[in-house]
Structure 1
Amino acid sequence: MAALDVGGTKIAGALIAPDGRILKRALRPTPAKEDETVLLATLAEVLGELQSTPLWPEVRAVGVGSTGPVDAAAGTVSPVNIPGWRSFPITKEVGRLSGGLPVRLVGDAVAMAMGEHWCGAAREASNALCMVVSTGVGGGLLIDGRIHSGPTGNAGHIGHISVEISETLCVCGARGCIEQAASGPAITRTALALGWKPPQGEEATAQAVATSARQRNKAAIAAFDRAARALAAGVAATAHLLEINLAIIGGGVAEAGAVLFEPLRAHLQEYATLPFATPCQIRPAALSRDAGLVGAAAAALAIDQERPWPLSPVREAVTR
């Protein structure tokens, strides 16, 4: 299967075997501030690199996981972090660029949930929240062993749940969103506002903030603590609402490791206070940044095997 993972920072592509192994990769930076023409050309480059391999003739469907909001039914995307795409017909364009192959669109965090349930940290889970924490913050839900994507494919879009009082508008137009505190750019902004400076010669990024936090820089630690608190509030709200017992955190910010996960687990104990929510565990994504690609491939596999949608459970699609 072919898979695309469209994010605010990068557009990744892969050819993936029926057992979830990645056979070929392609990657381009997302020209997020450019217009639709440039964005489409970048998408075409990624697909073109995959099509140039001898494996391409074996591809029978394409799965697309995209930052959102998405409209899976209409096949369009309007990502808050990619302003050049508004109601962009990505399913139609990927179908055209791939030579008429069938295409299925899912949200990036829904794709992550599918990937982690297929062959990652949620393999044995029945009720879980999977979060992508990167340029933005998204979520995908596994409920009673089934991927729950909602009517338009946006169920679990936890990044735009409000968890704090704020006068600053989020990119979505609301205030106090998890994404305002926990995304990579938000962590960087917080650290800079608290007096942190990147090491000489380095860019101000969440990765650089994480490095400083590991070196015990107080501003960097505080920035990650604020992010962790916002994430914990969102996880706890989901646990109280849906009785999930597992939250999996992936995306570029999750690669910070202990500087994120230690305060996240500590804050979760403060927020998940009711007896049915306290057992909720936090785990890093086992597939790391590949979770979205693997999950998008699972969506493509469902097309090929004519499985009902939403997929249930993902592993059934590769064993039948």
Structure 2
Amino acid sequence: MTTDLVAAVDIGGTKIAGALVNGAGELLHRLQRPTRARESADSVLRSLTDVLTPLTEHPLWSRVGAVGVGSAGPVDARNGTVSPVNIAAWRDFPLVEGIRKTTGDLPVALVGDGAAIAAGEHWMGAARGRANALCMVVSTGVGGGLILDGRLRPGPTGNAGHIGHISVDFNGELCPCGGRGCVERIASGTNIARYALASGWRPAEPEGDLTAAGVALAARAGDPVALEAYERAARALAAGIAATATLVELETVVIGGGVSQSGEVLFGPLRRALGEYATLPFVSDLEVVPAELGTDAGLVGAAAVCWSDSDTFLSLGAAGN
């Protein structure tokens, strides 16, 4: 039997997406459902099953040799469980077991969504050809994954590189993760908008966009509060990036997610702040570039994890195999 495809799953707080992916990174069949993150654990699992079942019924399913999963975290790849900060009902939830009720005995590779995105950008995106890279997503949360010595390094539980929960303000606000002053608590899209609104910013139009995208639009027009909100977020990101780069010696940082779409409103102050924080010779030339894979980065990356160490299929960090 030919097994030249993988099933990829991307689990986030807003949507769950799935696809059949070939060895060229092409999504041959894709679908998604709302996560229903505020509902019960079984309800969220039903959303996942509603994605997986049509994939298993597709004519190409017989060619699938593994299932790659990138999930909002923390994840525990050793035990096949997840406890996403943004899915309250899933605490130590047996995700791999739930997936296998639909997909059968195929190998399942589970990593955090940041690690999945790193695998995707290294395979088909902005980190292609880079030996040492941090790939980040800055959206409703802030996540990341590490490419070191040319390979994805998800760590024993699948969470390595989760830069969003590095503390950059020891006396800062309490983060939902339990820490204080986390990068995510300052630099996520949700918190950029929250800070701007609390500081008195309002969109020019009465029914204008109250999200980070609306703040970015105002920043481009020169609104001082909007500019301050993005400057603050950029400094938090730069502090986290500089710490990570100093620890593991990076050459490239790839940034994707909705907030990255603000362009130079974010990247300009981020590069300036990095000039202040990343000062040692081995990190002072750190390259910062936008991601290339867009909204499907998590799916491409979940598939990439299955091929990370093999010409066939290898469940890197897989649970229960």
Normalising to structure 1: TM-score of the pair?
0.91
Offset of residue 203 of structure 1: 5.1
Which residue number in structure 1 is paired with residue 234 of structure 2? 228
Offset of residue 206 of structure 1: 1.8
- Distance, in Å, in 1 between the alignment partners of 2:135 and 2:254 is 5
Instruction: Indicate the SS of the match to 1:225.
Output: helix
Instruction: Indicate the SS of the match to 2:131.
Output: coil
The 3 A distance-change label for structure 1 pair 223 and 291 is same
- Distance, in Å, in 2 between the alignment partners of 1:217 and 1:209 is 9
Is residue 142 of structure 1 aligned with residue 163 of structure 2? no
- Distance, in Å, in 2 between the alignment partners of 1:144 and 1:242 is 10
Aligned AA (1:268): L
Offset of residue 55 of structure 1: 2.9
**CA offsets per residue over residues 56-87 of structure 1, 9 Å max, x none?**
33322211001111001111100112111001
Is residue 305 of structure 1 aligned with residue 312 of structure 2? yes
Which residue number in structure 2 is paired with residue 122 of structure 1? 127
The 3 A distance-change label for structure 1 pair 304 and 281 is closer
- Distance, in Å, in 1 between the alignment partners of 2:314 and 2:49 is 28
Q: 2:180 is matched with which residue: 175, 178, 196?
A: 175
| Contact 1:95–1:102 (8 Å) recurs in 2 | no
- Distance, in Å, in 1 between the alignment partners of 2:269 and 2:183 is 15
Aligned AA (1:206): A
Q: Percent identity?
A: 57
Aligned AA (1:185): T
Which residue number in structure 2 is paired with residue 185 of structure 1? 190
| Contact 2:118–2:135 (8 Å) recurs in 1 | yes
| Contact 1:158–1:178 (8 Å) recurs in 2 | yes
Q: 1:247 is matched with which residue: 225, 229, 253?
A: 253
Q: 1:56 is matched with which residue: 42, 56, 61?
A: 61
Offset of residue 300 of structure 1: 3.0
Which residue number in structure 1 is paired with residue 28 of structure 2? 23
| Contact 1:2–1:62 (8 Å) recurs in 2 | yes
| Contact 2:305–2:315 (8 Å) recurs in 1 | no
Q: What is the number of equivalent residue pairs in this alignment? A: 311
**CA offsets per residue over residues 167-201 of structure 1, 9 Å max, x none?**
42101111110001111111110111111224433
Offset of residue 138 of structure 1: 1.2
**CA offsets per residue over residues 98-145 of structure 1, 9 Å max, x none?**
244321101111111111111111111111111121221111111111
Offset of residue 150 of structure 1: 1.2
- Distance, in Å, in 1 between the alignment partners of 2:235 and 2:172 is 18
Structure 2 unaligned spans of 5+: 1-5
- Distance, in Å, in 2 between the alignment partners of 1:307 and 1:268 is 37
Is residue 67 of structure 1 aligned with residue 72 of structure 2? yes
Instruction: Indicate the SS of the match to 1:213.
Output: helix
Q: 1:269 is matched with which residue: 263, 267, 275?
A: 275
Which residue number in structure 2 is paired with residue 201 of structure 1? 207
Which residue number in structure 2 is paired with residue 8 of structure 1? 13
- Distance, in Å, in 2 between the alignment partners of 1:217 and 1:13 is 40
Offset of residue 149 of structure 1: 1.2
RMSD: 2.0
| Contact 1:148–1:310 (8 Å) recurs in 2 | no
| Contact 1:147–1:310 (8 Å) recurs in 2 | no
- Distance, in Å, in 2 between the alignment partners of 1:38 and 1:309 is 28
Single out whichever of 50-59 and 118-127 deviates more from structure 2. 50-59
**CA offsets per residue over residues 266-314 of structure 1, 9 Å max, x none?**
1111110111110111011111222211110112345892447469xxx
Single out whichever of 21-30 and 36-45 deviates more from structure 2. 21-30
| Contact 1:137–1:178 (8 Å) recurs in 2 | yes
Which residue number in structure 1 is paired with residue 3 of structure 2? none
- Distance, in Å, in 2 between the alignment partners of 1:210 and 1:22 is 31
Offset of residue 249 of structure 1: 0.7
Which residue number in structure 1 is paired with residue 262 of structure 2? 256
Instruction: Indicate the SS of the match to 1:113.
Output: helix
- Distance, in Å, in 1 between the alignment partners of 2:167 and 2:227 is 23
Offset of residue 51 of structure 1: 3.7
Which residue number in structure 2 is paired with residue 314 of structure 1? none
- Distance, in Å, in 2 between the alignment partners of 1:57 and 1:207 is 42
Is residue 295 of structure 1 aligned with residue 309 of structure 2? no
The 3 A distance-change label for structure 1 pair 85 and 112 is same
Offset of residue 202 of structure 1: 4.5
Q: 1:37 is matched with which residue: 34, 42, 63?
A: 42
Q: 2:290 is matched with which residue: 284, 295, 300?
A: 284
- Distance, in Å, in 1 between the alignment partners of 2:260 and 2:55 is 28
- Distance, in Å, in 1 between the alignment partners of 2:206 and 2:311 is 51
List, as ranges, runs of 4+ consecutive aligned residues in structure 1 with deviation greater than 4 Å.
Answer: none
